[in-house]
Structure formats: C-alpha cells, structure tokens
Chain A
Amino acid sequence: MKKNNYIFKITMYLLIFLLISPLVILVIWSFVRIWPWPNLLPRDYGLRGFKHVLDPSTKSLRVLFLSVGLSSLVTLCTLLISIPAAKALGVYEFRGKGFFKMLILAPIIVPPVAVAMGIHIAFIKLGLANTFLGVVFVHLVPCIPYAVRILTNVFEIIGESMEMQARVLGASPLQTFIKITLPLMAPGLLSAGSLVFIVSLSQYFLTFLIGGGRIITLPMLMFPYIQSGDRMMASTYSIIFIVTALIMLLIMERIVRNYYKEQNYFYI
C-alpha cells in the first residue's frame, strides 16, 4: 500500500514536471530577445512581444475577442446538436447503433483536411465561404464527434430511469429535460464543452480555408511567427492562447457550478 503510494506520487510529480517545464520555457522565451546556443540563460530580455499584442494598431486584441466569441458560439452549437444525438446513442436501442457510433467518430478518424476541399466548394455555392457563419459551421465538423462521444457515455451512465420518475410525477418532456436531465449531465457538459472549446480555438487550417483570410483567429496570427522562427512573438501568442483557454474553462466551470448549486453531488 505504502509503496504504491510512493509510485503514485513519483508518477504524479513526473507528469506535472513534464507538463510544466515546456510552459516555463515558453514564458522565458516570450521575454527573450537573444538566446544564443551554448548559453544556459538568455543574453538579452525585452517586452516587444507583449507590447505588440497590446498595441491597438496590430488588432491582436480584437482577434483574440473574435476567436473567443467564435469558439464560444461553436461550443454552444456543438452541445445543442450533440445532446439529442448522444441521448439516442446512449439510451435508446435501435438497429445499427454500433455502426452509427463509429460513423459519428468519422470526422476525427478521417482528418477534416481531407474533406475540407469538398466542404469549401459546397460553401462557395451556398455563399458561406469567407463568412463568420461558414467558419462556425466548419468548426462543427471536428467538434461534434468529441462532444457526442463524451455525452453518449454520460447518457449511458444516467440512463432513462430518472426521467421516467420525473414523468410519472407529472413533468412534461421539456420540464423533465430542464429540471432533471440537464442537471444530471452537468459534469459531462462541462468536460465536453471545455474540450470542444479548445478544439475550436486551435483550428488553423479549416478557419484559414473557409474564412478565406477574412476571418482571422488567434492561431492564424500565431502561425507566421512560428514559421519564420520569431520565437519571442510565437511564445507570447502561445501564452495568450493558453491563458485564454484556462480562463474560459474556469468561467464555464463557474457557470455550471452556480447554475446547479455548489453542491458537488455528482462527484460522489
């Protein structure tokens, strides 16, 4: 027992170290002007990165807000679409269920890049190319599989019995959904929502293709710097990216917690 405990702790610290150390280097890099090879520490520091981001003329902050808005909207739409699909897959029995479960994962198994051209042509015909709405739609492609997968498991666990109980006590289907189903699946919504938000926030290629350069998101600002080897700027944007994601996750958690009271009944 005790030995297990040590192994557990060592593994945990190792993992934390592995996760933290790149971040530390990232933070250092974002303030570094010159860090020539054999030196252990950088030679010269500067604030060019953060100044650039905060400077209104670069529009970095506007892009940041657009990115967050876009990804929030994508998250919301994804969850709205995924809940009914996940309920069908998790609770109901029908023929070909296994097949549909596989099929819904297809966009993750087949890289969206592979079908992006087709989508692009279709969107041009529909007038969705180069629009905000088009980008939202195309982000749903890689997002929905994750959300459906997570929520299916959630529905498999909560099942239908609580809903049945609510119905016999006089609740209509809609009331049952709002008062019983949603609160019960809150933890699942939280994890699905966070994952989807990050998947959407990190999309580069799909945004680039469908947005046609009109819709600029955070990764699109970041990419040129990574490519050209400007590590200071790239690190700065990376940090902004990470902090944004973390803040959004905290906000989501707060909303869910507050909405369904702070009782942590579902973690028991």
Chain B
Amino acid sequence: MYKIELKNISKVFENKRVLKGINLIVNEGEMLSLLGPSGCGKTTTLKIIAGLFSPDCGDILFNGKSIVNIPVEKRGAVIVFQDYLLFPHMTVEENIAFGLKMAKIKKPKRRVKVREMIDLVKLDGCEKKYPSELSGGQKQRVAIARALAIEPKVLLLDEPFSNLDTRLRESMRIFVCDIQKKLGITTILVTHDKEEALLTSHRVAVILDGEIKQIGTPAEVYEKPSSPLVADFFGEKNYLEGEIIKGFFVCKMGKFKTGFDKYPRVMAMIRPEEIELTDSEEGSGFWGRILSKQYAGDKIYYKLSANDIQLKCMANSKNMFEANQRVWLKIDFEKTIFFKAEKS
C-alpha cells in the first residue's frame, strides 16, 4: 500500500483557480475523508492524484517517489466515480474483469478473481446482467468490485454513496469501511456529507474554496474547528460578538466567566445543541423569548431572540416551550469556542 503526499498542488481551469496549493499526506492504509461543499475542487483533486489531470504546479508522491510523470494506467490508483460509470456494453462479470484483462491476467486466474469479488460484494446471480438491469445499489457494488479486483494500491472514492437512499447508504458505508480495513488500502473518500466523513474515516480534511482549511481526527475537526467557516460546514452555529476582559466574556447579554484570556475582540461560537432552555434563572445565561418552534420528533428547533439578537437552539422534546414564552438560556461559556473577531 502507498503513502500519498500532495505538495502544493495547484490547478487553474479557464482563469479560475480551482485548487490553490493543496498540501496533504495520507498515511499507508489510512482512510481519509475529503470534505467540502459542491464545486470546491474535490473531484479535481482525485483526478490529479489518479493522473487524469496534470497539476499546474506542485508534486505528488507515492511512497516518497514522484509520480507526476507516470501515466494514469501505471499509477495503481483507482477512482470509483460518483455515477459509477459501469461500461454499458459489458455484463457485470465483464465489467469486473475489465481491469484484470487490461493487466493481462490469464483467464483461469481472472475467473477466480471475478468470482471472489462477486462473492465479496454479494452479487450472486447478477453475473450475466447488464448495468441497465441493475438497481442503484447493485451498480455501486459492481463499481466497487471492479475497482477492488485489480488490487489497487490507492482507492479514491468520489461521493460513492450520494446516489443511494439513506438505508442503503448506511449499509454500503459499513461494507466499504469493512473492506477497506480488511484489505488495508490507502483510501481517500470524497464527500460533502459531514456525518459520512465523521463516521467513516481516520482523519478528515476540510477543503473549502480550493484550500485545505483543517485536517485532523473527526473529533478534532468537529470539536475544535479552526475557523468559523469550517465550523459552519459542520452545521449551523450561533455567534456572539464580544470582548474578553480578565477571564470574562463581555457581550450584549452580560458578563460570563470563561476562565481564560485570549484575544480581546472575539466571536463566541455556540452550537444550537449547547443552549439549554429552562423557565427559571439557573446557572450562567440570559433571558430570551421564543420566536418560533419546529417539531422534528426526537428534537425541537427553536428560534429565539435575546437583546435583539436571533439565536437558534435545538432541544430534546422533554419540556416544550411555546412561541412568545420567556425562557432562560443556559450556556456554559467555559466550554465555548472563541474565534478572533474579524475586523469588518
């Protein structure tokens, strides 16, 4: 298996800088998620690693050796694309065998390998079918089997689950993670689904606007986002502007203990689920008024207003509050994340 290193990779398409110096290391056998919104250059990054595009500048190393000049078919990196791209004129079997045929593997050996892959992805009975006769989930498994059949050193998955329904997505995700662990293939999973990224991978790289903004374990990226942009990507947040003075956060709502000094001007990031609502004054917090309520079964989304600032809050449905009710917003500012306020 390979260790992948990207060094300062840039790519310009028609005067548009899509990648602006990507630096990334994926360790041998690691599963790394590349997380980012649509159009931020995720697919482009994978295509550059596989060799389908050449970078405008920068270097790609596999196990410490530059592979920029090695043609696509000799790199040993396989992409499974978003829309599976099964060859429509070949049966499931022939699709899976395609890579093996290209590698000039003899027929008896090829047959054994195809059988093995079909068992692995549980597609017995579909061997002779054409892609147009398969369901979305089956197509996807064929695409994965076809990629795994040639025993790639690097597996690049481009949003492989995005076309599946929730249930199927979950089982496919578990399935792919298991295989990845079993075979120990260095894998990059591209996704714009934050939960998928957090659930599946050893490390997550957040890519925004052609740059990697943060990279770390799922917990690190979620708990300690490096900037509001990254934080917002993991869900809507509330921000309170204020100052930190001698261990206290001072804002429109009042003065709250933080226990540390950082920058003088700050933005406090408060997750909707970190606000606790009560009907009596209790702990550190402030009074607010409920503007609206949305019921979502196990949880309730409130919109609140406090001191003319709108806040979002997510609470469990144990005690319900009604619109226009006065509530106490309890927030533990000692655990809050503060960002340096941008000068606007």
Contacts and interface: CB of A to CB of B under 8 A. Distances in A.
Interface in B63-115: 71-74, 77-79, 81, 83, 85, 87-89, 98-99, 102-103
A135 to B, nearest CB: 36
A198 B87 CA distance: 32
A260 to B, nearest CB: 6
B88 A168 contact: no
Nearest to A179: B98
Question: What secondary structure prevails in chain A residues at the interface with B?
Answer: helix
Interface string A170-206: 1110010001100110000000000000000000000
B52 A169 contact: no
Contacts of A265: 88-89, 130, 132
A259 to B, nearest CB: 11
B78 A167 contact: no
B146 interface: yes
B73 A167 contact: yes
Contact of A168 (B72, B83, B103, B132): B72
Contacts of B42: none
Contact of A184 (B52, B78, B88): B88
Contacts of B77: 168
A125 interface: no
B147 interface: yes
A266 B131 CA distance: 12
Contacts of B147: 169
* Interface-centre pick from A167, A172, A180, A184 (highest chain B CB count, 10 A): A167
Given A161-B85, A265-B88, A169 B132 contact: no
B185 interface: no
A268 B47 CA distance: 30
B81 A161 contact: yes
B72 to A, nearest CB: 4
A166 interface: yes
B313 interface: no
Contacts of B304: none
- For chain A, the bracket of interface size reads 20 to 34
Interface residues of B, number: 27
Contacts of A171: 73, 98, 102
A47 to B, nearest CB: 48
A261 interface: yes
A162 B85 contact: yes
Most chain B Cβ neighbours within 10 Å, of A168, A169, A184: A168
A165 interface: yes
A228 interface: no
B277 interface: no
A175 B89 CA distance: 15
B102 A169 contact: yes
Given A161-B81, A165-B81, A172 B73 contact: yes
Given A164-B47, A263-B130, A169 B146 contact: yes
A172 B104 CA distance: 12
Given A263-B89, A263-B130, A266-B88, A168 B146 contact: no
B270 interface: no
Interface string A102-123: 0000000000000000000000
B174 to A, nearest CB: 25
A261 B73 CA distance: 27
Nearest to B14: A93
A170 B102 contact: yes
Nearest to A180: B87
Nearest to B104: A170
B269 interface: no
Nearest to B103: A170
Nearest to B13: A93
B50 interface: yes
A266 B87 CA distance: 11
A19 B150 CA distance: 55
Contacts of A169: 73, 78, 98-99, 102, 146-147, 150
A189 to B, nearest CB: 13
Interface string A4-42: 000000000000000000000000000000000000000
Contact of B89 (A165, A168, A261): A261
A168 B98 contact: no
Given A184-B88, A184-B89, A266-B88, A168 B78 contact: yes
A162 B73 contact: no
Contacts of B47: 164
Contacts of A161: 81, 83, 85
A181 to B, nearest CB: 11
Given A168-B78, A169-B147, A184-B89, A175 B130 contact: no
Contacts of B103: 170
Nearest to B72: A167
The 5 closest A-B pairs by CB, nearest first: A169-B99, A170-B102, A165-B85, A167-B72, A183-B89
Given A170-B150, A180-B87, 17 more contacts: A161-B81, A162-B85, A164-B47, A166-B98, A167-B51, A167-B72, A168-B50, A168-B52, A168-B77, A169-B99, A169-B150, A172-B71, A172-B73, A260-B89, A263-B130, A265-B88, A266-B88
6 contacts: A164-B85, A165-B79, A168-B51, A170-B103, A171-B102, A184-B89
Interface of A: 93, 161-162, 164-172, 175, 179-180, 183-184, 260-261, 263, 265-266, 268
